[in-house]
Chains A and B, each alone.
Chain A
């Protein structure tokens, strides 16, 4: 269920490396735990974020959770379409439901993330 080509954080965010840019979103597991997402609060493009730093909030019919970035760097693009259509986070978690694109400050940060198998064993607990 979790794509093999992604990296995962223990805070249930995924990271997809595209050159020097990393696309970030929340995992399918997180989306299912949250239930129907109704609101996503994202930062402005252009700001800096630290690895595992809080970058926003996500609200579902059940709860509100903080969002933590799996990598640090400069936020180059924000998916504004999920602000208007938060259901994308549930419906296409690893596609149109992406949240940020970050120009990673140090690719070594990726070593602190899990692969799909590692994340699967985390969520199986």
Chain B
């Protein structure tokens, strides 16, 4: 709870408002070279309005601001579907090595052989882990990986003169990025309903898959945190109809070392390195979303792809590449971190990470199923989707519970997703949390459930201990300030 206490006591003035004319952070020694005239005035800007503050004030200001961060380094962060696992500091140490951090993206490959070798080895590792051996590390995020994957699917059909395939089939439980990426790739989105048990409605899929199907996009495990028991039948149905099957790798953490997407019949997938492979998220990013494909599709991959020729490594453009999807090589510093993580964990370590992620989620589910409804009452994979529908009948919504968790120093779970679950609270503890942390979370969730009966208003008006309370999200979305108002 240090975060919130510090925040309450924090001097909220911006650095600019602390400025005192003449105050400086650094006193420079007198110049020992002759003074030169300034360039003519028309070449100069007006004085910049920079804050004039002491060094100590700058340090204190930014140190206090940094303590307002709610991060995996400070708090439990069970944000479902985001895999907020610990980001080992070893990753940062390796990415900071001058040979990686100091190189320029325009340097020729022969000057940066180590970096290209790392890219090649990471491609091999990701290809092996997913069972899809063609890999491009170029995509800068999960959604860009999806977009690249869908362009590959289109290029594949076009190469076979099968251009009537313009439909992307997407389950109703999918991440919003799936239909968005499909629409951006010029495909028409058709929704596949879920059956009552949360699985894909296989009969509906059979009716929908036809000669117009370009691709079926599926998240495995699903966004309900469930393994799809009919997966082999599903990929077969789509293949029989002539379509390709795309795996959204958002939930890959549950499968590492246990099942390979390629073995299950998937043709294309992406992996969010910032989820599964422990690289930082969000403000700590950037993201990275490599795309993996079957051998047959490898020639369509976005460039560059690192290739090996004996002992030398080059960056090359695949034969029928969909082209470049960003300026350079992807998020290279993130690739170093993911590579470090995979090599440090090893195959057995990754498998045990997946197993522990699954056990942790099931532990939470089993301990909370008496207090909260479940989206599906069966073993989950790496995350469990609770529903606050019972609590809603007592006047408190999922949103209120999420906000109340913040008062207890716990980041809110993902709310109101998947869309098909009423008052969804999606909890993904990841493998990196201890049993003590899980027990604390369970205890707090039960406390909040009791509080909803004894003192609902405290929950409805939470958070109470953070520097800001309930933000007016509706006003922010309806009337956003798109320019600095100062």
Counting CB contacts under 8 A, is B28 at the interface?
no
Mask for A27-45, Cβ within 8 A of B = 1, else 0? 0000000011111000000
Roughly how many angstroms separate A63 CA and B176 CA in the complex, as a whole number? Answer: 10
Q: A38 contacts B416, CB within 8 Å?
A: no
Roughly how many angstroms separate A86 CA and B477 CA in the complex, as a whole number? Answer: 10
Mask for B440-479, Cβ within 8 A of A = 1, else 0? 0000000000000000000000000000000001100110
Contact residues of A between 21 and 63, Cβ < 8 Å to B: 35-39, 59, 61-63
Roughly how many angstroms separate A39 CA and B478 CA in the complex, as a whole number? Answer: 7
Counting CB contacts under 8 A, is B419 at the interface?
yes
Roughly how many angstroms separate A2 CA and B263 CA in the complex, as a whole number? Answer: 53
Chain A residues, CB < 8 A from B419: 63
Contact residues of A between 68 and 90, Cβ < 8 Å to B: 86-87
Chain A: minimal CB distance from B300 (Å): 31
Q: B478 contacts A87, CB within 8 Å?
A: yes
Residue of B nearest to A60 (CB): B474
Chain B: minimal CB distance from A54 (Å): 12
Residue of A nearest to B417 (CB): A63
Q: A36 contacts B416, CB within 8 Å?
A: no
Roughly how many angstroms separate A61 CA and B478 CA in the complex, as a whole number? Answer: 10
Residue from the list B176, B415, B473 in contact with A36, Cβ < 8 A: B473
Please indicate which of the listed interface residues A36, A61, A63, A64 has the most CB atoms of chain B within 10 Å of its own CB.
Answer: A61
Chain A residues, CB < 8 A from B415: 62
Residue of A nearest to B415 (CB): A62
Chain B: minimal CB distance from A90 (Å): 8
Chain B: minimal CB distance from A10 (Å): 15
Chain A: minimal CB distance from B453 (Å): 22
Chain B: minimal CB distance from A83 (Å): 11
Residue of A nearest to B472 (CB): A36
Q: A87 contacts B474, CB within 8 Å?
A: yes
A sample of 24 inter-chain contacts (CB < 8 A) reads A35-B399, A35-B474, A36-B473, A36-B474, A36-B477, A37-B474, A38-B474, A38-B477, A38-B478, A39-B477, A39-B478, A59-B477, A61-B473, A61-B474, A61-B477, A62-B399, A62-B415, A62-B416, A63-B416, A63-B419, A64-B176, A86-B478, A87-B474, A87-B478
Chain A: minimal CB distance from B474 (Å): 3
A-B pairs, 8 with minimum CB distance: A36-B474, A38-B477, A62-B416, A61-B473, A38-B478, A61-B474, A63-B419, A38-B474
Chain A residues, CB < 8 A from B478: 38-39, 86-87
Roughly how many angstroms separate A12 CA and B24 CA in the complex, as a whole number? Answer: 63
Chain B residues, CB < 8 A from A59: 477
Roughly how many angstroms separate A87 CA and B479 CA in the complex, as a whole number? Answer: 11
Chain B: minimal CB distance from A73 (Å): 26
Residue of A nearest to B422 (CB): A33
Residue of A nearest to B416 (CB): A62
Residue of B nearest to A38 (CB): B477
Chain B residues, CB < 8 A from A62: 399, 415-416
Roughly how many angstroms separate A86 CA and B478 CA in the complex, as a whole number? Answer: 8
Mask for B403-418, Cβ within 8 A of A = 1, else 0? 0000000000001100
